[in-house]
C-alpha cells in the first residue's frame, strides 16, 4: 500500500484526484498507476484501470489470476467490474468511498454471486493514511476556490 500511496501523491502533484493503485504478482509489483482523468481527458483513466492494463501487458494475458491490487480508495462501479472481469484474486483498499464505492459501500460488485468471479476483498487497510491524502487534496481545492473535480 505504500507504493499505492506514492502513486496517489504523484496524482496530487499533477492536480489529479489522489488515488493510487499497484498490482502485485509473486511478491513483485508488476503495475503501478494513479488517476489521470484530467491529464488524459479520459473518463476511464482511473488508477485501477491503468494498473490493470499494465499488469495484463506485463503478464501477456488479461486473466490476472495470482494478482493482488492495492488501491488507496474503494473502487467505483467501473473499476470493481473491471477487477471482476480481469479475474484478479485479491483486492486490498483503504477507506470506503461513500460517493461511488462499489465493493462494499454503495454496491457489492466484487461479492455478487451472479458474476463468474469474486475476488477476496480486504477493506480499510491503512485507511487513515489513504484518507488523509484525499482530505488534504480537497481541502486545498476548497481553499483555492476551485470546484471539486469528483462532483
All cell numbers assigned to 148: 471539486
Q: CB burial class (10 A; 0-12, 13-18, 19+) of residue 108?
A: middle
20-25 vs 67-71, strand pairing mode = antiparallel
Catalytic hit among 9, 16, 38, 48: 48
Question: Residues of 34-50 as b/e, b for ≥16 C-beta within 10 angstroms?
Answer: bbbbeeeeeeebbbbbb
Question: What is the rounded CA–CA span in Å between residue 65 and residue 147?
Answer: 39
Catalytic annotation on 48? yes
Catalytic residues: 48
Amino acid at each position: 500500500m505504500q507504493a499505492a500511496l506514492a502513486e496517489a501523491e504523484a496524482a496530487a502533484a499533477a492536480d489529479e484526484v489522489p488515488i493510487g493503485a499497484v498490482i502485485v504478482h509473486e511478491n513483485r509489483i508488476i503495475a503501478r498507476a494513479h488517476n489521470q482523468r484530467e491529464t488524459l481527458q479520459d473518463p476511464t483513466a482511473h488508477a485501477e484501470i491503468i494498473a490493470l492494463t499494465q499488469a495484463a501487458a506485463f503478464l501477456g494475458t488479461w486473466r490476472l489470476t495470482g494478482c493482488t491490487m492495492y488501491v488507496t480508495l474503494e473502487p467505483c462501479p467501473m473499476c470493481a467490474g473491471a477487477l471482476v472481469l480481469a479475474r484478479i484474486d485479491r483486492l486490498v483498499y483503504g477507506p470506503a468511498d461513500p460517493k461511488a464505492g462499489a465493493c462494499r459501500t454503495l454496491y457489492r460488485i466484487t461479492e455478487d454471486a451472479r458474476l463468474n468471479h469474486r475476488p477476496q476483498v480486504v477493506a480499510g487497510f491503512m485507511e487513515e493514511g489513504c484518507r488523509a491524502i484525499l482530505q488534504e487534496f480537497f481541502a486545498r481545492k476548497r481553499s483555492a476556490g476551485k470546484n471539486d473535480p469528483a462532483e
